[in-house]
Amino acid sequence: MYDAPYRVSAPAQITESPGTHTEKPMTAPSVPTVPNVDREILREAIQEEYEVVAREPQRGFHFHTGRPLAEILGYQTEWLDGLPEGSIESFAGTGNPFSLGTLAHGERVVDIGCGAGIDSLIAAGMVGPEGAVIGVDMTPSMLEKAQAGVRDLDHVEFRLGFGEELPVPDGWADVVISNGVVNLMPDKHEAFTEMARVLKPGGRIQIGDILVDRPVPENAKEKIELWTG
C-alpha cells in the first residue's frame, strides 16, 4: 500500500447562493502561502518523472501504477473495459474522482493533469457523445499516449497546458476532475481559482489527491526531490 500520508478524493461545490444571514461576522478565508520553490525547475523535474511513466510504465516506481493501481483505488472493471492499454498502463493517480459520483450524460468535463488519459476516457464514456471532455497536461509524452487512446471518440480532446493556466474558456465546464495533480502545483490558491474560472456557476470539482494531516516544514517544501519523490 501507499507510504504517502493520506490519499483521498475530495468533493467541492461552487454554487451561487442567494445570500444567507448569520449572527456571526464572516471572516475572509485565508489564502495559503506559496512555497519558496522555483516553479520552472519544479515543472521540469515533474515532466522528467512523468515522461518515464509514459514511455516506460513497466520500469517500476516508488508509487503504484497501471491496472493494479486502478484496482487499489476502486476503479470499477467496467470503467476500464475497452480502454486502450496504453492509457491504463501509465495510470498514476492518487485517488478516484468518480468515487464522489459518476458524471451525468451530456456534461462537460475538464481533467486537469490528465496524464495518459484514463480518467478523461472514463469520463467520456459517462457523459456520452452529447457531453465533452478536455484533458490538459504539461508533459508531452503523457499527452501523446492520451491522444492515441482517443481513437474514434470525437467528444474528447487533449490539450497541452498547465493547470494554472488552463487552455479552456471561462464558464465552459460542469465538472472539473483531477487525480494526483493538485499536490504537484505549489500555488493552491491559483490552482483552485483557475478551476473556478472554467466552471459554470453551480459547477463542481471532483478531485482525488494527497492530503497531509500535519504542517509540512517550509524548508521541506523547497526541496524539489520531495515534490517528485
Ligand X SMILES: C[S@@+](CC[C@H](N)C(=O)[O-])C[C@H]1O[C@@H](n2cnc3c(N)ncnc32)[C@H](O)[C@@H]1O
Residues that bind ligand X (CB under 6 A): 46, 50, 91-93, 113-115, 118-119, 137-139, 142, 162-164, 179-181, 184-185
Of 185 and 195, the one with the shorter C-beta distance to ligand X is 185
Shortest distance, position 44 Cβ to ligand X, whole Å: 11
**CB 206 to ligand X: min, Å:** 12
For the bound state, the minimum distance from the C-beta of residue 30 to ligand X, rounded and expressed in Å, comes to: 23
Closest to ligand X by CB, 130 or 222: 222
> What is the C-alpha separation between 35 and 28, in angstroms, rounded?
21
Closer to ligand X by Cβ: residue 132 or 177: 177
CB of 51 to ligand X, least distance (A): 8
| Cβ 148 to ligand X shortest distance, Å | 15
* Type of residue found at 82: G
Say how far apart CA 173 and CA 200 lie, in whole Å: 6
Alpha-carbon gap, residue 155 to 125, rounded angstroms: 10
Cβ proximity to ligand X, 176 vs 181, nearer residue? 181
Residue nearest ligand X (C-beta atom): 115
Distance (Å, whole) CA 124 – CA 103: 9
Name which of 112 and 127 has its Cβ closer to ligand X. 112
Nearer to ligand X, 38 or 130 (CB): 38
> Shortest gap between Cβ of 23 and ligand X (angstroms)?
41
